[in-house]
Amino acid sequence: MVMNQQSPLFSEIKEIILESRQRVFKIANSFLLETYWQIGKLIIEDEQQGKERADYGKSTLKNLANQLTFEFGKGFDERNLNNMRAFYNVFPIWNALRTELSWTHYRILCRLNSKEKIKYYLEESINNNWNSRTLQRQINSLAFERILEHKTEEAHPETIRNLIKDPYIFEFLGLSPDVKNSERRIESSIIDHLQKFLLEFGKGFAFVARQQHMVTDTSDFFIDLVFYNYILKCFVIIDLKTGSLSHQDIGQIDMYVRMYDDLKRGESDQPTIGILLCSEKDETIVKYSVLADKKSVFASQYLLYMPKEEDLKALIENDIQKFQLDNED
């Protein structure tokens, strides 16, 4: 028998079952995290007490792993015990743990080399509901390093510089970087992969329109992509460009921002932000244009492939140095 239509009764029961499974998962996940945290704590404490024991080290952990595996089966091998040890070492306060995240999330976070990065990726995982695969992709693509400006420890409000990145990595669009892709094709691919685009683009962005029609007394204009950022409470318009960035491109996005403020911005909205997404960015043009002193218009490069880590680090470091030199000037 094939059921073509779900009855109201089926839908209600289905919802109850799904909610129940989610509650069970949350409870089980919390107990699992506490178990692994407690094991890590005991290992660390035993290490500290046994510092003067000459035979303490890998052999002790290996013997412990063999005993636990014999008693409880898989899941307690030497590698996992090292993960539990690192878990407690990085997160020594149990009450500070966020049980929304899984053990896989925490194993990934424990490999990071700074508290600032751990805090960033932990908060982003929770706020954006990243699964462990998305978290690993964000770390591999150096999302933390690509943020233009990080918030300091003091309580400062979010700004657009806390949210946008440079460069953006759009390998998920499935477009070859070896052929000339038109702006319309890139735009269409973004719409087809909108969820992944929003994950890469940053937090707080909601899609508003594609090719939004703007009418003035004398002309018609079409803005490539329009988003609204509910954190900043402002519209964010995006103009896609292939090839080298030009003064005409910068003038156009500046005009679009002014136009959007005049024609679309509501009374409760903050000033509109404009972002030029370009495949090539000329830093000289950026430096000697309105991009250098306006807080409402930005240019970010995008890549249609996932670069090697060392190449991406070099690109980011180059941008940081230019940013610092510009500020000194």
Has residue 140 got a pLDDT over 90?
yes
How much is the average pLDDT of 86-113? 93
pLDDT tens-digit readout, 278-321: 988 777 777 667 676 667 888 888 999 988 888 888 888 776 66
Confidence of residue 156 (pLDDT cuts 50, 70, 90): low
pLDDT score of 310: 86
Has residue 326 got a pLDDT over 80?
no
pLDDT score of 186: 95
Mean pLDDT value across the chain: 86
pLDDT score of 52: 47
Has residue 171 got a pLDDT over 80?
yes
Q: Which helix (H) or strand (E) holds 59?
A: helix 58-72
The per-residue b/e assignment along 144-182, b for 16 or more CB within 10 angstroms, e otherwise, is: bbbbbeeeeeeeeeeebebbbbbbbbbbbbebeeeeebe
- pTM check: above 0.85: no
Has residue 155 got a pLDDT over 50?
no
How much is the average pLDDT of 153-174? 81
With respect to CATH, is domain 150-328 assigned 3.40.1350.10? Answer: yes
pLDDT score of 152: 61
Domain boundaries, the chain: 9-145, 150-328
How much is the average pLDDT of 23-45? 92
The answer to whether the beta carbons of residues 164 and 300 sit under 8 Å apart is yes
How much is the average pLDDT of 52-67? 72
pLDDT score of 71: 92
